[in-house]
Amino acid sequence: MSKGHRLPDTDSVEELARFWDNHDLTDFAHDLQEVSEPLFVRGRGTSLSMELPRAEAQHLKKIARSKGLKETAVLREWILERLHEFSSIRRAPNKASPAAAQEPDGG
């Protein structure tokens, strides 16, 4: 029995997390229903999988821990930075670098 509590009617992840932090699923067994289709479907092209050598994977875990992040968050940050850098390089006009343009003539 649900001990007078009702299942929350919300889509808020935060509200649901608070609710389940304070309640046990077994108290709501009579309210549960089996579903045949997935409720949450990940969009296509939004997830990648990769393997790293053990040493590099451990190094990544250490870096992530030091930043208080998950490994996937660190990888996503790095990948987005590189993609942005690559896009900036590809869009830049084919001219000499700004540093070279500022150097005085002569020698």
Rounded distance between C-alpha atoms, residue 68 and residue 61, angstroms: 10
Query: What is the pTM for the complete model shown?
Result: 0.44
71 neighbors 64 (Cβ within 8 angstroms): yes
State the average pLDDT for the chain. Answer: 81
Q: Taking 90 as the threshold, does the pLDDT of residue 63 lie above it?
A: yes
How do the domains of the chain map onto residue ranges? 54-91
Mean pLDDT of 25-47: 80
22-26, 50-54, 64-68: least confident range: 22-26
Q: Taking 60 as the threshold, does the pLDDT of residue 76 lie above it?
A: yes
For the chain, give the percent of residues with pLDDT over 90: 33
Q: Taking 60 as the threshold, does the pLDDT of residue 1 lie above it?
A: no
Q: How confident is the model at residue 106 (pLDDT cuts 50, 70, 90)?
A: very low
Q: Taking 80 as the threshold, does the pLDDT of residue 28 lie above it?
A: yes
Give the three-class secondary structure for 52.
Answer: coil
DSSP 39: S
